A and B are shown apart, each in its own frame.
Chain A
Amino acid sequence: MLTDILITTLINASVYAMLATGFSLIFGVARIINLAHTAFYMLAGYFIFSFTTVLGLGLLPAMLLSIALVVVIAVLSYRILIDPMREHEAAVLIITVALAMVFQELMLVFYGGHFRSVPQLVSGYVTVLGVRVSSQYVVTIGALVAILAAVWLVLMKTRLGLAIRATAQDREIANVMGMDVSLISTVTMAIASAQAAAAGALVAPLFILEPRMWLYPLTIVLAIVVLGGIGSLKGSIIASAIIALSETLVTFLLPSGAFLKGAFSLGVMIVVLLIRPEGLFGVSFEGER
């Protein structure tokens, strides 16, 4: 059982970390709270379903194609709908939640409300530390962690990453230093949505697809971002682990009360915030200018 708890926690933690870091990133750079963020995760799952079952593509090409398609949709949504409203925070909230609802209803129209599933990428089992684990789980965790590491490397070690970090700190000054902040925001949107889509694509073979699958992760992502401290990627990752672990513990220790996992993990968040209102790694929020 311990291995199961560990594996489930690792999968959920890395999915949440992927979603939450992307959410934080686009919040930091473009100052938008994108409530449609996890809808991109949902879309990727459905696109894979279509590409594999309807078009008969292999799972890997279907995944890559889905991620690309989601990025295109996300970037277009950003440029056409979200960016023009950037200064109106309430409008951004409404527009993005509307966008998520539209995606949800479209999935309902095309696929109905049935649960769908996607074939596995790899089959069989591997033995990790003397325990048999489904290879699909291992591949999923490995890929999620690798992508997270790659995003971190891009942010910390490249010219683009520096521009993203600088823009997140002070848009005006970044602009004065010659950075095209509007382009950088768009690129950040592409990265963030690619992360969400990749998370969706990687867990599609493990989870069940349904049109409302964006809502619960969205709540959890918001909780994680607040818990970790807004703007802190490290905080998001650690908070993802905390939330995923509390969810898993509830599910395993209280099998009949698995539906309580959300309430419990959000309760953990509330308790931490009562002790540290700025979040675990909260940075004092200095206004621009």
Chain B
Amino acid sequence: MVTPPEASNLLEVRGLTVCYDTAMLLNNVSLSVGRGELVGLVGPNGAGKTTLLRTVAGLVRWEKQSKQGTRAGNITIAGEVRFDGERIDSLPPHVIARRGLVLCPERRRPFTELTVADNLMAGAYLQKDRRALRETLDMVHQMFPVLKQRARQISGTLSGGEQQMLAIGRALMTRPRLLCVDEPSTGLSPLVKKELFAKISEINRRGITVLLVEQDTALTLSVCARSYVLSHSRIVASGARQDLLADQTVHRSYLGLQSP
């Protein structure tokens, strides 16, 4: 289960431990995502999946700094995060985003009072080349046509599924190298969920590395070549779908799946 440190990995997390006061949210977590991979991260509620993505994106450290001395309490972070071979664990979130690691957050969080078009343009904030921006926008519109039809609509009034497409579209507008998606399928109907997973695979096929956090274990394992299982702040298993399914303990205790 120990991943050998490989320079070729796009994301390399080693020994990451995060505590909020005395609560340990992540306990010595290590994982890696290779270039071009689509990697899943599953686990029960409260396992620490969101915390992991927020730490990687620099938000936990930012929160630690900005909330220092407030009632929010003390946050301690230990361990290493490498992106494209370089340490990013002391960089602020906007610099991490500039390097190409972008988070599509839990609960979508569109800029609710901005229009759909403005949300996408906010994603393109770093994009100064107008032609490249146009291309990315066309790509996003092609992938999610509803974002084009509803360009002038205030995004807070979109449906949940549309908001999710907007959140992914906005993240794609940054032209990420690694897209970390946190529970995109929450609240979606089974059919829309399937479509969404297909889109995520498509994004990956277009050359964007994806780290996908999900509740729907069956679907996640089926689209991801490789997955990690996080439970009670620790990585308890990892591997390809067949390996995870073959392991009876993992199967029963963490995945709650029917045997295939």
Whether B70 and A166, one on each chain, are in contact in the complex, defined by CB atoms closer than 8 angstroms, is no
Partner of A178, one of B66, B70, B174: B174
> Do A177 and B97 form a contact, CB below 8 Å, given A88-B70, A162-B121?
yes
The listed residue (A86, A163, A169, A180) touching B113 by CB distance below 8 A is A169
Give chain A residues whose Cβ lies under 8 Å from the Cβ of B103. Answer: 176
Interface residues of B in 92-106 (CB under 8 A from A): 92-94, 97-98, 102-103, 105
Smallest distance from the beta carbon of B62 to chain A beta carbons, Å?
7
Chain A 253-289 per-residue mask, 1 if CB under 8 angstroms from chain B, else 0: 0000000000000000000000000000001001001
- Among B94, B102, B125, point to the contact of A162 (Cβ < 8 A): B125
| Contacts known (A163-B122, A165-B118); A176 close to B70, Cβ less than 8 A | no
B174:A177 contact, CB within 8 angstroms: yes
Chain B residues positioned under 8 Å from A176 (CB to CB): 57, 59, 93-94, 97, 102-103, 105
Specify which chain A residues have a CB less than 8 angstroms from the CB of B92 in the assembled complex: 175, 180
Compute how far the CA of A180 lies from the CA of B70 in the bound complex, rounded to whole angstroms. Answer: 23
On whether A166 and B93 interact (CB within 8 A), knowing A87-B67, A176-B57, A178-B125, the answer reads: no
Quick one: given A159-B125, A163-B122, are A177 and B113 in contact (CB under 8 Å)? no
Enumerate chain B residues within 8 angstroms of A283, measured Cβ to Cβ.
Answer: 113
The reply on B198 being an interface residue by CB < 8 A is no
Whether B98 contacts A178 by the Cβ 8 Å rule is: yes
A175 and B122 in contact (CB under 8 A), knowing A87-B67, A166-B114, A170-B111?
Answer: no
Q: Is A57 an interface residue (CB 8 A)?
A: no
Partner pick for A173 among B58, B66, B72, B105, CB 8 A cutoff:
B105
Asked whether B142 is an interface residue with its Cβ less than 8 Å from the other chain, the reply is: no
The answer to the question of B3 belonging to the interface, with a C-beta cut-off of 8 Å to chain A, is: no
Check: B126 CB closer than 8 A to any chain A CB: yes
Whether B59 contacts A286 by the Cβ 8 Å rule is: no
Note all chain A residues with C-beta closer than 8 A to B113.
165, 169, 283
Which one, B57, B112, B123, contacts A286 given CB within 8 A? B112
Contact A177 B123 (CB under 8 A): yes
A172 & B94 in contact (Cβ 8 Å cutoff): no
Per the bound structure, the CA–CA distance linking A261 and B14 in Å amounts to: 66
B170 at the A interface (CB under 8 A): yes
Per the 8 Å Cβ criterion, residues 36-81 of B in contact with A are 57-59, 62, 66-67, 69-70, 72
B93 and A165: CB pair below 8 A?
no
Taking CB atoms, residues of chain B closer than 8 Å to A162 are 114, 118, 121-122, 125
Check if A238 is an interface residue, CB within 8 A of chain B. Answer: no
Q: Contact check, A86 vs B66: say whether CB atoms are below 8 A apart.
A: yes
CA distance A181 to B113 in the complex (A): 18
Q: How far, in Å, is B119 (CB) from chain A's closest CB?
A: 8
Contact A169 B125 (CB under 8 A): no
Q: Does B109 contact A (CB under 8 A)?
A: yes
A163–B125 CA distance with the chains assembled, in angstroms: 8
Contact string, A140-184, partner B, CB cutoff 8 A, digits 1/0? 000000000000000000010011011001101111111111000
Q: Which of A88, A176, A178, A180 has the most CB of B within 10 A?
A: A176
Could you mark each residue 94-119 of chain A with 1 if its beta carbon is under 8 Å from any beta carbon of chain B, else 0? 00000000000000000000000000
Interface centre among A163, A165, A169, A181 (most CB of B within 10 A): A169
**Can you offer 13 A-B residue contacts whose CB atoms are under 8 A?**
A165-B118, A166-B118, A166-B122, A169-B112, A172-B59, A172-B62, A174-B122, A176-B57, A176-B103, A177-B122, A177-B125, A179-B122, A180-B94
Q: 11 extra interchain contacts, Cβ-Cβ under 8 A, other than A87-B72, A173-B109?
A: A162-B122, A166-B111, A166-B122, A169-B111, A174-B111, A175-B92, A176-B102, A177-B170, A177-B174, A178-B125, A180-B92
Q: Which residues of B contact A (CB under 8 A)?
A: 57-59, 62, 66-67, 69-70, 72, 92-94, 97-98, 102-103, 105, 109, 111-114, 118, 121-123, 125-126, 170, 174
